[in-house]
């Protein structure tokens, strides 16, 4: 996407901003003029460098270390964002992750942790920002799903279950919030280079490429370009949908 200021004047919060897709989205949104806030957990140096890079593009950027399921910390960070940047126009629920475990070796704490990381975090961040959006009768919530929650793939069961839950959360919340002019959407990538995509074996990669019409995995930058469009006014008539970005499977 050429730089055209599609998001100029918007204020956007991205969860999990130091992961490969999170970084790419922050960069794409800043390029299009949005002021940004993002969260991180373990990559303090990368977070500082990313914030400086975004500010170098002429936008405001702030970041914070926020636990994925720490409700009070999430609420406090969202309040800080609205105090320092202004009312949020968009929330991008990107935070997530998994353990590579066969079903027989998944213990109850593993199950709880994976569902909390991928689903509870989305609930907590959305809850923290939605009241302001309701008052303003405007806003966008974009949830990052996964093809793992929609197709029969060789992925950990608890991760696939969590990502399937993203779809239910999206369509239900979209129905509830439509009366307030708030859009809720899901972006569903296929196999993406970097992040979780780095966990696949050569055999799994070859199988994916065999069935993918474009014959390759996607990139974080391609996800970011679509995300920038979906949260922009250009997608103003898109709501309650899951948009797949998988190269044709």
Q: Which residues are catalytic?
A: 159
C-beta separation of 143 from 165 below 8 A: no
Neighbours of 219 (CB within 10 A): 17
Q: Taking residues 45-68, what's their average pLDDT?
A: 97
Q: What is the pLDDT of residues 104-136, one digit of tens each?
A: 999 999 999 999 999 999 999 999 999 999 999
Buried b or exposed e, range 158-194, using 16+ CB within 10 angstroms: bbbbbbbbbbebbbebbeebeeeebbbbbbbbbbbeb
Q: How far apart are CA 7 and CA 101, in angstroms?
A: 40
Q: How far apart are CA 22 and CA 188, in angstroms?
A: 14
Q: What is the pLDDT of residues 42-53, one digit of tens each?
A: 899 999 999 999
CATH fold of the domain at 11-189+218-245:
Rossmann fold (3.40.50)
Q: Taking residues 59-76, what's their average pLDDT?
A: 98
Q: 184 versus 153: which is more confidently predicted? A: 184
Angle between helices 121-136 and 71-84 (to 10 degrees): 40
Q: Tell me the whole-structure pTM to 2 decimals.
A: 0.96
Q: What is the pLDDT of residues 137-183, one digit of tens each?
A: 999 999 999 998 988 888 999 999 999 999 999 999 999 999 999 99
């Amino acid at each position: 996407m050429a730089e055209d200021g599609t998001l100029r004047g918007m204020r956007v919060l991205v969860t999990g901003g130091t992961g490969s897709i999170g970084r790419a989205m922050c960069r794409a949104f800043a390029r299009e003029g949005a002021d940004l806030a993002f969260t991180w957990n373990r990559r303090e140096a990368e977070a500082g460098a990313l914030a400086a890079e975004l500010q170098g593009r002429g936008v405001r950027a702030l970041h914070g270390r926020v636990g994925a399921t720490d409700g009070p910390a999430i609420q406090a960070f969202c309040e800080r964002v609205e105090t320092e940047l202004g009312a949020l126009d968009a929330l991008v629920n990107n935070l997530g992750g998994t353990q590579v475990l066969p079903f027989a070796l998944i213990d109850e704490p593993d199950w709880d942790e994976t569902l909390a990381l991928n689903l509870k975090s989305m609930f907590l961040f959305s809850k923290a920002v939605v009241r302001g959006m309701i008052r303003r009768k405007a806003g966008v919530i974009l949830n990052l799903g996964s093809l793992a929650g929609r197709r029969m793939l060789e992925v950990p069961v608890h991760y696939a279950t969590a990502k399937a839950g993203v779809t239910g959360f999206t369509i239900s919340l979209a129905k509830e919030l439509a009366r307030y002019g708030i859009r809720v959407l899901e972006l569903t990538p296929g196999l993406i280079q970097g992040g979780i995509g780095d966990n696949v074996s050569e055999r799994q990669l070859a199988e994916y490429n065999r069935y993918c019409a474009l014959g390759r995995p996607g990139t974080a930058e391609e996800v970011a370009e679509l995300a920038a469009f979906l949260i922009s006014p250009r997608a103003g008539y898109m709501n309650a949908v899951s948009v797949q970005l998988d190269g044709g499977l």
